[in-house]
Structure 1
Amino acid sequence: MPNVSKNILAVDDEPKIQEVVSALLESKGFRVFTAESGQKALEIFRVENISLVILDLMLPDISGEEVCREIRKKSRVPILMLTAKSEENDLLYGLGIGADDYIIKPFSLKELYARIEAILRRTQNDLVPLNVRNSFGGGDLVVDFEQNFFQKTGQPVSLTPNEIKILSALIKYPGKVFTREELITIALGSEFEGYDRAIDSHVKNLRQKIEDDPKKPVYILTVHGIGYKFNGK
């Protein structure tokens, strides 16, 4: 449940959006800090104990992507992107550099708050640092979400956009067990209308590409009766 100990930083250069978002969150018991520019957002972030950042990508000084990148250098605080960009590559890039979720403008306050609640539930005990480039198994598996580069035993691997989203979500929270429904929300978005078993198909394809033996995986593990988790060392 939200409470006054939770501080949220809302970054947007549109006063009306700042006003309605602040009113919503304050009514739910959050303390809200607002910034109309990227530099102001980073200044606030440096001195306040922020629990979640709502970050518009189109800012008047430095971009939201750059703000996200700077925050990720020192913190794993959850970031929800606000974007008018609907192109998949832009969204994938934002997720790849460390954003936890995104919502496309215009959005309803009900949807925004549902996303915020879901992110805070997932991340309330998550203190794992996030690196843009990760290496596992002594270099056996290399993933670089900034460059969209993936390598297995020294050879490039081609992943689909949905496979990238799922792998990104799993790697961000190593050891955490995700239900199929959670992976759909995190990786495929709440607008996904398929069956939850579609995740099984994506995971099967991922294993074919990144595991030595897909039937005996060492990275993406099945937790029977629940879902999946990432085991990366």
Structure 2
Amino acid sequence: MARPRGKILLIEGKRSDHPSFFSGLTRKGFDVESVGTGKLASERLQTSLPDVVLVDAASMRTSGKRICQSIRADAPGVPILLVVDADYDHMERLDADVVLAQPFTLQKLLNRMRPLLPTDDQNLLKVGPIHLDVEHRWARCQERQAQLTPRLVMLLRALMERPGEVIERTDLFRVVWETEYTGDTRTLDVHVSWLRQALEEDARHPRYLKTVRGVGYRLDVEPKKRK
């Protein structure tokens, strides 16, 4: 018997005009437990912790804010994926790791859920708010998530392995393109620009991927302090 891809606690209401995620996730190999209210979810979290809590607030005609706050109090380490109606207030602060607005496909739900699930630590790099799954080629920073090309994975990995350090352009060309030739500097600049578009909230004024003029680039994230 195949091992489940992950354990999901699904909180959703019963609406005839709103399809359930239960059957789709079950078909994809997830171990799904469904409850109808936030209160029942809190009770369930007292005895068993899932890998992800999926809150379908759209099916309950609510923002899901209070449910997410309750889950955070009961199980602070469990990630939350919140589904809301298309017209929800984007300025409202919702206590969830990922917020998905209807409509969307099951595949998009899976893509956004994947970074929240347990993975092989050997293939997952974490530096500050940036997560990189080398095997599946996705990266996440805060609420932003993107699928990356193999070259972009190599570039981001090179920067993440030396956080806070200025990495010279020649070193990046050597690692990512396996060449000593740096005549075509625009190639590197374009790839850094693509990474910024994927991860930065404002690509024109990057917070993390900084240019050190005349030298190279730096991932402006504090490295972990050794104990």
Deviations for 1:5-54, whole angstroms, at most 9, x for unmatched residues? 73211111135698641112222222111122111121222222211011
Deviations for 1:150-181, whole angstroms, at most 9, x for unmatched residues? xxxxxxxxxxxxxxxxxxxxxxx764654596
| Matched residue, 1:40 | 40
Structure with the higher helix share, 1 or 2: 1
Identity among equivalent pairs (%): 20
CA gap of 1:230–1:23, structure 2 versus 1, over 3 A, is farther
Q: How many residues align?
A: 163
The 5 Å alignment of 1:83-162 reads 83-84=84-85, 85-90=87-92, 93-94=93-94, 97=95, 99-120=96-117
The 5 Å alignment of 1:23-62 reads 23-57=23-57
Mapped to 1, the partners of 2:4 and 2:69 lie a distance apart of 27
Deviations for 1:36-95, whole angstroms, at most 9, x for unmatched residues? 2111121222222211011123575986212211222242111111001443213xx11x
Q: Does structure 1 residue 197 correspond to structure 2 residue 196?
A: yes
Q: 1:196 is paired with a residue of what secondary structure? A: helix
Shift of 1:229: 4.0
CA gap of 1:23–1:230, structure 2 versus 1, over 3 A, is farther
Gaps of at least 5 residues in structure 2 are 148-192
Shift of 1:121: 5.4
Contact 2:9 2:52 in 1 (8 A): yes
| Matched residue, 2:83 | 82
Mapped to 2, the partners of 1:223 and 1:43 lie a distance apart of 49
CA gap of 1:215–1:6, structure 2 versus 1, over 3 A, is closer
Contact 1:37 1:59 in 2 (8 A): no
**TM-score of the two chains, using structure 2 as the length reference:** 0.54
Amino acid at match of 1:195: W
Contact 1:79 1:100 in 2 (8 A): yes
The 5 Å alignment of 1:176-215 reads 177-178=130-131, 182-183=139-140, 186-188=142-144, 195-198=194-197, 199=199, 202=203, 206=207
| Matched residue, 2:67 | 67
**TM-score of the two chains, using structure 1 as the length reference:** 0.53
Contact 1:223 1:229 in 2 (8 A): no
| Larger radius of gyration between Structure 1 and Structure 2 | 2
Gaps of at least 5 residues in structure 1 are 126-172, 208-213, 217-221
